[in-house]
Amino acid sequence: MDNTIVCKGIYNVGVRDFEIRDFHGYSTYQGTTYNAFLIVDEKIVLMDTVKKPFTEKLLNNIKKFVDPKKIDMVISNHTEMDHTGALPHIMHYIGEEKPILCSKAGKKNLEAHFGKGKFNLQTVSSGEEISTGTKTLSFLETRMLHWPDSMFTYAKEDKILFSSDAFGQHYSGPAAFDDQISEEEMLNHAKKYYANILLPFSGLVKKLIKDVEDMKLEINTICPDHGVMFRKDPLKIINAYKEWCEQKPSKKAVVIYDSMWESTRKMADEIVDAIASKNIPVVSMNTRKCHRSDIITEVCDCGAVLFGSPTLNNNIFPALSDILTYMKGLKPKNKIGAAFGSYGWSGEAVGILNSYIEEMGYELADPGLKVQYVPDESDFEKCRELGLKIAEKLENL
Ligand code: FEO
- Delineate the domains of the chain, giving CATH numbers in brackets: 5-246 (3.60.15.10), 250-395 (3.40.50.360)
The confidence score (pLDDT) of residue 49 equals 98
Active-site residue, from 83, 170, 189, 226: 226
The confidence score (pLDDT) of residue 290 equals 98
Closest CA to 254 of 276, 278, 234: 276
In this prediction, residues 140-163 reach a mean pLDDT of 97
The confidence score (pLDDT) of residue 347 equals 97
How many other C-beta atoms lie within 10 A of the C-beta of residue 334?
16
How many other C-beta atoms lie within 10 A of the C-beta of residue 105?
18
pLDDT at 119 over 90: yes
The confidence score (pLDDT) of residue 197 equals 97
The confidence score (pLDDT) of residue 75 equals 98
pLDDT at 166 over 90: yes
Q: Place 172 in a pLDDT band, splitting at 50, 70 and 90.
A: very high
Would you call 165 a catalytic residue per the annotation? yes
3-state helix vs strand vs coil in the chain, percent to 5: 40, 25, 40
Q: Which residue ranges have their beta carbon within 6 Å of ligand 1?
A: 78, 80, 82-83, 146-147, 165, 225-226
Query: Is beta strand 336-343 parallel, antiparallel or unpaired with respect to 369-372?
Result: parallel
With both helix axes pointing from N to C terminus, report the angle between 183-193 and 292-299 in degrees, rounded to the nearest 10.
100
Residue 79 CA, ligand 1 centroid: distance in Å? 8
pLDDT at 1 over 90: no
pLDDT tens sequence across 291-310: 999 999 999 999 999 999 99
The confidence score (pLDDT) of residue 289 equals 97
pLDDT tens sequence across 189-212: 999 999 999 999 999 999 999 998
Residue 169 CA, ligand 1 centroid: distance in Å? 11
In ligand 1, the atom with minimum distance to the C-alpha of 150 is: 2
CB 252 within 8 A of CB 301: yes
How many other C-beta atoms lie within 10 A of the C-beta of residue 8?
11
Q: Classify residue 197 by its DSSP letter.
A: I
SS3 per-residue string spanning 38-52: EEECCCEEEECCCCH
The confidence score (pLDDT) of residue 67 equals 98
pLDDT tens sequence across 60-79: 999 999 999 999 999 999 99
| C-alpha distances in Å from residue 242, one per residue of 66, 236, 282, 334 | 38, 10, 24, 16
pLDDT tens sequence across 207-234: 999 998 999 999 999 999 999 999 999 9
User: Which distant-in-sequence residues (6+ apart) come within 8 Å of 82 by Cβ?
Assistant: 23, 34, 50, 51, 225
The confidence score (pLDDT) of residue 133 equals 98
The confidence score (pLDDT) of residue 295 equals 98
Closest CA to 292 of 32, 31, 23: 23
Q: What is this structure's pTM?
A: 0.96
Length of the chain, in residues? 397
In ligand 1, the atom with minimum distance to the C-alpha of 34 is: 1
Atom 2 in ligand 1: which residue has the minimum CA distance?
A: 80
Closest CA to 28 of 38, 41, 19: 19
In this prediction, residues 282-299 reach a mean pLDDT of 98
CB 42 within 8 A of CB 132: yes
Q: Place 86 in a pLDDT band, splitting at 50, 70 and 90.
A: very high
The confidence score (pLDDT) of residue 297 equals 98
Active-site residue, from 24, 92, 184, 218: 24
pLDDT tens sequence across 10-24: 999 999 999 999 999
Would you call 89 a catalytic residue per the annotation? no
